[in-house]
């Protein structure tokens, strides 16, 4: 007996056997083949019609497991699984630069649909995270633009007194994404923000690789806290890539000329303990603890009167490279602007606050 609407056979007991529903029942399949020969009538008629019209279907090839092989060329899985989601840009005329010299019209969403930089609050601390662990937090154009937006947000965020820069997945950053090869020279820097300044203190929380442009981003920060397994270095040396995000200017100011030239010219790796010895990092903590230590330090800095924290920081940064008398003039000018804060602090002290370690 046959259900004419579905062409699904019934056996002698009247039970229906759906070819899809009974795939796991081998006995049901055999019963269908033996007891319902009429189920193939429509197929036979179509085959005869195709034979008469010359529109014959090629015979279906069978493979082990009963699956038909895919027809035609298939997309390359690797191409769709690429983590950077961008095609390499052509090398510019100036050989050796991993960047383009002209801006692009493509937006970050067109280049990479996922969020590559996150911004969140931990109390008075803003944590900015480079979130491309599949590319070792390398910076492409979309990420550079997102970093610039994040630091601009921080600078105007009244709820954030200190900013912490870190990387996801146990790596700070491997620098420019040489596979994407799409960074552009802009006034704010190739990496998005390295030629800008913010008015509030910044801390780099470093785990894993902090190399090439990643090192230059860490040098941009005021303080650096490293996990014990962190590695530093000007690794762009091996690829002929110049330091163009502040490395040649900030590194000598932090570790001195001789040590800076050693790192820049050799491109050798520097571990966390050596980085601490030469003054490259402020503190070394157990691997995996750098972010929490940086947040704790940020909370401590946020507890001080912020007007003088920011004024003294600005005096240091603006005085670097000046003659001593010029630097003293900068310090005087900025200090006079916040003397009212000093008067308030003196009054609190006179009232008994802060004495005996309180």
Helices (H) then strands (E): counts for the chain: 13, 13
Neighbours of 47 (CB within 10 A): 12
Domain that holds residue 26: 2-44
- Structural Rg of the chain based on CA atoms: 33
Residue 87 within any structural domain of the chain: no
3 to 36, 46, 71: CA distances (angstroms): 11, 19, 33
* Of 75 and 175, the one with more pLDDT: 175
Q: In this predicted model, what pLDDT tens digit does every residue of 286-325 receive, in sequence order?
A: 999 999 999 999 999 999 999 999 999 999 999 999 999 9
Give Dmax over CA atoms of the chain in angstroms.
109
> In this predicted model, which residue has the larger pLDDT, 37 or 85?
37
Q: What pLDDT does residue 248 have? A: 98
> Would residue 101 count as lying in a domain?
no
Instruction: State the Cα–Cα distance between residues 355 and 348, nearest whole angstrom.
Output: 10
Span 266-282, pLDDT tens digits: 999 999 999 999 999 99
pLDDT at 303: 97
What is the rounded distance in angstroms from the CA atom of residue 307 to the CA atom of residue 317? Answer: 16
Query: CA nearest 335: which of 347, 318, 321?
Result: 318
Structurally, how many domains does the chain consist of?
3
Please check whether residues 286 and 334 belong to one and the same domain.
Answer: no
Summary mean pLDDT of the chain? 79
* 255: alpha, beta or left? (left if phi > 0; alpha if psi -120 to 50): alpha
Residue 144 exposure: Cα atoms within 13 Å on the Cβ side: 31
Pairing label, strands 99-100, 202-206: unpaired
Domain's final residue, options 302, 332, 347? 302
338-355 average pLDDT score: 87
On whether both 221 and 339 belong to a single domain, the answer is no
Task: Give the distance, in angstroms, between the CA of residue 293 and the centroid of all CA atoms in the same chain.
Answer: 21
**Residue 282's CB: how many other CB atoms inside 10 A?**
18
pLDDT at 356: 66
For residue 110, the model assigns a pLDDT of: 40
Residues 158 and 278 in one domain: yes
Over residues 40-68, mean pLDDT: 47
pLDDT above 70 covers a percentage of the chain that reads: 68
Question: Any idea what the CATH number is for the domain that residue 145 is in?
Answer: 3.90.226.10
Whether pLDDT at 4 is above 70: no
pLDDT at position 114 over 80: no
Task: Of 99-103, 235-239, 259-263, 343-347, give the range with the top mean pLDDT.
Answer: 259-263
Whole-number pLDDT of residue 60: 52
- 39 vs 60, more confident: 60
Query: Are residue 139 and residue 217 in the same domain, yes or no?
Result: yes
pLDDT band for position 349 (50/70/90)? confident
Q: 213 and 317 share a domain?
A: no
> SS3 string of 306-358?
HHHHHHHHHHHHHHCCCCHHHHHHHHHHHHHCCHHHHHHHHHHHHCCCCHHHC
For residue 355, give the 3-state DSSP assignment: helix
Q: Considering the entire predicted model, what is its pTM?
A: 0.69
**Mean pLDDT along residues 228-253:** 96
């Amino acid at each position: 007996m046959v259900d004419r609407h579905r062409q699904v056979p019934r056996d002698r007991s009247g039970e229906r056997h759906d070819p899809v529903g009974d795939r796991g029942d081998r006995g049901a399949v055999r019963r269908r083949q033996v007891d319902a020969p009429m189920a193939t009538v429509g197929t036979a008629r179509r085959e005869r019609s195709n034979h008469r019209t010359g529109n014959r279907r090629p015979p279906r090839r069978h493979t082990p497991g009963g699956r038909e092989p895919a027809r035609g060329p298939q997309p390359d899985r690797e191409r769709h699984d690429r983590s950077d989601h961008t095609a390499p840009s052509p090398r510019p005329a100036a050989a050796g630069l991993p960047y383009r010299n002209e801006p692009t019209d493509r937006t970050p969403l067109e280049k990479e649909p996922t969020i590559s930089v996150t911004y969140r609050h931990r109390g008075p601390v803003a944590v900015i995270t480079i979130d491309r662990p599949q590319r070792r937090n390398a910076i492409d154009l979309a990420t550079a633009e997102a970093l610039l937006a994040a630091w601009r947000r921080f600078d105007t965020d009244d709820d954030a007194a200190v900013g912490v820069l870190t990387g996801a997945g146990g790596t700070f950053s491997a620098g420019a994404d040489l596979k994407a090869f799409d960074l552009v020279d802009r006034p704010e820097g190739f990496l998005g923000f390295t030629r800008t300044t913010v008015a509030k203190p910044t801390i780099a929380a470093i785990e894993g690789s902090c190399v090439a442009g990643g090192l230059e981003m860490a040098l941009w920060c005021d303080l650096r806290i490293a996990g014990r397994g962190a590695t530093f270095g000007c690794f762009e040396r091996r690829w002929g890539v110049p330091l163009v995000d502040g490395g040649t200017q900030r590194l000598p100011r932090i570790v001195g000329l001789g040590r800076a030239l050693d790192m820049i010219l050799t491109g050798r790796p520097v571990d966390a303990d050596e980085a601490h010895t030469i003054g490259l990092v402020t503190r070394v903590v157990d691997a995996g603890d750098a972010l929490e230590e940086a947040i704790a330090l940020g909370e401590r800095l946020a507890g001080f009167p912020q007007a003088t924290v920011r004024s003294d920081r600005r005096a240091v940064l603006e005085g670097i490279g000046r003659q001593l008398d010029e630097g003293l003039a900068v310090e005087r000018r900025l200090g006079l602007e916040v003397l009212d804060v000093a008067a308030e602090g003196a009054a609190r002290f006179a009232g008994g606050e802060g004495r005996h370690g309180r």
